Structure 1
């Protein structure tokens, strides 16, 4: 009996591939699909599910709504199924708790028959003669698929000077909740970074500062602690129309555009900054100095053990060129993430077209470009900022991305992608 050949196999089950799995099950039942995840259950940034921390996008940016608001896998239906819809109505918020978003995704994953957890993929190769990909795993059967979607997500990014120096006292923010209690009992804590994660960690530590009598420091090499661009017209850059425009630019122009658009991706939500400032203000009423040290324009270039058993950070205020040292007991590096490119994809590097040493060429509909034209596609759901802009990690635009992929798989417009929803254009004549 011939081995079963899937139409598509998704590798990694985060929100991107999970949403794709839901859209295929409901809208393209003839597409034979399977999605694989090495972890035993769905977990979305478990180390950063801080109490009272909210998602940065609206609940409408769930796994399916922008493609099919009638789907049973919408966040609204999740609330209905769990008897929470009226409570959410009275909450009167568009943003939802991160913990609830994770619970929602876990619910969807549990409902889908095409998702398999505890299945680690170790190798993917292409059989040109048979025109399919061969997917091998650890202690599991070998699978075959005409197409593959890569959704392996990202891994913590540690600044080059600090690589190899993390330990139980020097952690990345992605592990924050696993170390929270021990951190808060340590005495001196330093947070490094300027984005939403850094702000959430700092605020959580600040809330408990009086209880544990911690000394808090927050450094970032950025020019300041800036607010995320959340205006309605600014958010239109998270749209299919802008992705069309951005993808059509040259590689160099795209790199320059990403620098300009940084506030859309890496700022801090207004309410988080306001919460921090209000708490600092109230804490300062009966004190002669600020309850925390907050300093921008500051690089952390090294960390070494001090003679008193603490840590010594080698810092530099780069605008004035002044170097100094800072003693601390614990360090939280909220320094962002970088795409996880699996080893098996790196082995294909000679088969792929590249735009730079680290960035592969990607079509508008998210297919990696191979030197030899092939009818079998490898779609990438991550490592796309260089090709598709600020939308690469946006949850709302991930649904639009999945619409493109489903339409390629079915060969028809299974999920129509509507445009003409914007009040701005990006070049003359682009109306």
Structure 2
């Protein structure tokens, strides 16, 4: 360790959070009521922004506003969405808005408002390394502006590094203003606006919202929308189906053998990756109105078709090679821009791989995550490493749901504080997920 680093050592904290997305931001907010628990959170971004590339006007959050940063654990918190509305003079407007779902942009404004009030959240700080020794975590943090690296110490770590865009390797290597992930859509709107033709790949909510946004423009380009899925399906929104986004289901799922958990994940896809009913209805209505009188819709929509390759042409256009799986036929489409709704993958820092190299594993190397969201180690260390990154295999498809992130945070705070700061509720749903004698096993 350099002399400069030695001079920049800081005192010990009970918990340090790495990454400030909605999950860790909610944890930071809830910790303000945990007396005696000191905390600090770092994020390399200069300020809080939640999916800035998908803050399309008119797009709504896919969960009710009650799944804000704190309400599911503490409805009286000053950091609730309703308190944010009150501070902005928007309570009456929201009352007349008369909806549970809220604009995605407003959720981002709310989260930024919360982050601005929390002194334990530091932005523009990149965690470069984390090590563990004798019950203490050593966290090296680089100030992105001053380039000064500081060492902090913590009893516990909470990893909230989230996800990053997933672009298949054959589709990489093109200018980001021409071939882009949906996560960059808003930032590249000016470039897309000049395109005569656009191809969109994917059948999730993001791809659908981009398609609808472009479809409604007065100067709309020729549109092509393809998905490798078997159709453009609606997100399952049935109330009983939604009960998998509950602590009860996590209890059930977590106690299953790994093999059964992995088998179950594909069955839950439609509860996570479909398109909101209202979005699909809007798309169909626009297409119907546009084709009245025999006019062309100006759009090609096709399922069972995967983008296999993208080739740049000399005239700045792109030839996209696609394959229709059921017919086993390949064909090309030439367009000016390509927008990929190809999903996300866990953002796992290198230091986390090193930190967990001695952790317990299950199956073919899956990291073993305990029910209370901490990584399992053979030495039963007192300093816990909590994570919400890459835990679908252990906690289920709904593990990153915004409301369940609040449940996770209440669990972590109670663990760290050694007392019940926030009540962890028992039965939350009307259905039962397993045999009667196994109901409580997952909570152990």
Question: Taking structure 1 as the reference length, what is the TM-score of the superposition?
Answer: 0.96
Q: Is the 8 A contact 1:199 1:268 kept in 2?
A: yes
Match of 1:334? 341
SS in structure 1 of the partner of residue 256 of structure 2? coil
Match of 1:318? 325
Does residue 1:216 correspond to 2:223, yes or no? Answer: yes
Match of 1:99? 105
Q: Which moved more, 1:151-160 or 1:53-62?
A: 151-160
Q: Is the 8 A contact 1:9 1:35 kept in 2?
A: yes
Which residue of the other structure, out of 324, 349, 354, is the alignment partner of 1:347? 354
Match of 1:245? 252
User: 2-side partners of 1:65 and 1:246: how far apart?
Assistant: 24
Q: Is the 8 A contact 1:284 1:291 kept in 2?
A: no
Deviation at 1:307, TM superposition (A): 4.5
Does residue 1:184 correspond to 2:193, yes or no? Answer: yes
User: 2-side partners of 1:14 and 1:404: how far apart?
Assistant: 18
User: 2-side partners of 1:416 and 1:345: how far apart?
Assistant: 30
Q: Which moved more, 1:166-175 or 1:224-233?
A: 166-175
Instruction: Provide structure 2 residue ranges, at least 5 long, that are not aligned to the other structure.
Output: 1-6, 143-147
User: 1-side partners of 2:10 and 2:221: how far apart?
Assistant: 60
User: 2-side partners of 1:357 and 1:79: how far apart?
Assistant: 48
Please provide the CA RMSD for this pair. 1.6
Q: Which moved more, 1:391-400 or 1:50-59?
A: 391-400
The structure 1 segments of at least 4 consecutive aligned residues displaced by more than 4 Å after TM superposition are none
Which residue of the other structure, out of 45, 58, 64, is the alignment partner of 1:58? 64
Match of 1:76? 82
**Alignment length, in residue pairs?**
426
SS in structure 1 of the partner of residue 122 of structure 2? strand
User: 2-side partners of 1:93 and 1:245: how far apart?
Assistant: 32
Query: What pairs with 1:226-237 in structure 2 (closer than 5 Å)?
Result: 226-237=233-244
Q: CA, structure 1 residues 347+220, in 2 after alignment: closer, same or farther (shift >3 Å)?
A: same
Match of 1:202? 211
Which residue of the other structure, out of 177, 183, 191, is the alignment partner of 1:168? 177
Q: CA, structure 1 residues 349+69, in 2 after alignment: closer, same or farther (shift >3 Å)?
A: closer
Q: Is the 8 A contact 2:247 2:428 kept in 1?
A: no
Superposed CA deviations along residues 162-192 of structure 1, whole A, max 9, x for unmatched, are 2334532000111000111221221010000
Match of 1:373? 380
Match of 2:162? 153
User: 2-side partners of 1:363 and 1:421: how far apart?
Assistant: 21
Which residue of the other structure, out of 136, 145, 156, is the alignment partner of 1:132? 136
Q: Is the 8 A contact 2:18 2:41 kept in 1?
A: yes
Which residue of the other structure, out of 307, 323, 347, is the alignment partner of 1:300? 307
